[in-house]
Amino acid sequence: MSSPFQGHEVEARLRPTADAYRFDLDRALSAVVALEATVPPDAYTAGILGTERLGNGVVIGPEGLVLTMAYLVTEAADVTLTLNSGRRVPAHVLGIDSQTGFGLVQALEPLNLPVMTLGSARDLNTGQGVIAAGAGGRSHAMAGQVLARMPFAGYWEYLLEDAIIAEPAHPHWSGAALIGPKGDLVGLGSLSLEGRTEHGAKAINMYVPIDLLPPILDDLARGRPAHPPRPWLGVFAQELDGTVVVVGVSPGGPAARAELRPGDVILAVDGIEVSNLAEFYGQLWAQGPAGASIPLRVLREEDVFEMEVRSIDRNSLLKKRRLN
């Protein structure tokens, strides 16, 4: 069996050195574990996210609570954690939250690892030094900096009001720990993005601020919904020249059933014009809870027409987690 660490090493010149920090660097890095999840082939997300998922998790509780990204463990039937020592430990999913993107798993054997303290990203400013850490110790950790704090709208009906953008890009960002100046956890790796500079394109990472976790941690740990379900259409959309363009729909989702098509432009929601994803999501979620009918004005080729799409709770399409 190949190591989950192999192939994700950070360039030696970018790795952090212990003498540059006031905290125990190796102790902090030992709280990051590799996470492998297996999803049944008939799971709803299997076609989009795959059936074999590999990322990272961070130990945040003394009883083996591990924080990760929800997309890594959604509908997972089996989860395995690999410690930096190479020891493998089974785990199961406690809960996921689509609004923040966080997922929580429970190790089924004692990890005997340090716990990474939850910090805060509130005072994390542009240019501030951080460490992006995947599992595997120093060779998988990167000294970097905060590039920006900004809203982030994802094409899959996802919005963060204050995402953390950091550079350089980590080669294994999914669920990677963003470690602040005090050695605590300030964010969790979500995406690899392409930034633009005067010298061309460069890879950067988006991190979810850890401040979003404490209000929902108890619900996640108990397997309860952390938020009331929002109305979900199953639309994949992008911004293009001040418009919201449908680029795909989730199979079997409300948008697919309503026959929204790639290339359609969403002009308005409930009569309110939208010109970007944040406006689109804001109006969509303002229509009521999951199950609400969403009035849309759509441009298709040269025709403008009104339609209603009955939203659902996206979690209703997911395989229920296995109880252990």
Q: What is the mean pLDDT of each run of 10 residues along the chain (324 residues)?
A: 82 95 96 98 95 98 96 97 96 96 98 97 95 97 97 97 97 97 97 80 95 98 93 97 97 96 98 98 97 98 97 92 52
Question: Which pLDDT score is estimated for 307?
Answer: 97
CA triple 132-137-142, angle to 5 deg: 30
Architecture of the domain made up of 235-317: Roll (2.30)
Helices of type H across the chain: 25-29, 46-49, 70-73, 214-221, 254-257, 277-285
**Residues carrying CATH 2.40.10.10, the chain:** 20-115+216-221, 129-214
Q: Give me the amino acid identity at 80.
A: T
Measured between alpha carbons, how far is 92 from 225 in angstroms, rounded to an integer? 17
| Angle 182-183-187 from CA coordinates, rounded to 5° | 100
Would you say 110 and 65 are in contact if contact means Cβ atoms under 8 Å apart? no
How high is the pLDDT of residue 320?
Answer: 74
Its sign, for the CA torsion 102, 85, 50, 142, is: positive
Two tokens, residue 246: 């449908």
Q: For the chain, how are helix, strand and coil distributed in percent, rounded to 5?
A: 15, 40, 45
Q: What is the pLDDT of residue 84?
A: 95
Are 262 and 276 in contact by the 8 Å Cβ rule? The answer is no
Residue 239 CA to its chain's centroid (Å): 20
CA dist 81 and 105 (Å) reads 10
Q: What is the pTM of this model?
A: 0.95
Residue pair 208/188 in contact (Cβ under 8 Å)? The answer is: yes
CATH number of 129-214: 2.40.10.10
Rounded to 5°, the CA angle 293-295-297 comes to: 155
* Chain region(s) in the chain for CATH 2.30.42.10: 235-317
Q: According to the model, what pLDDT value does residue 196 have?
A: 72
Torsion of CA 40, 44, 47, 51, to 10 degrees: -20
Confidence at residue 322, expressed as pLDDT on a 0 to 100 scale: 54
Which amino acid, one-letter code, is at 275?
S
Tell me which of 2.40.50.140, 3.20.20.70, 2.40.10.10, 1.20.1250.20 is the CATH number of domain 20-115+216-221.
2.40.10.10
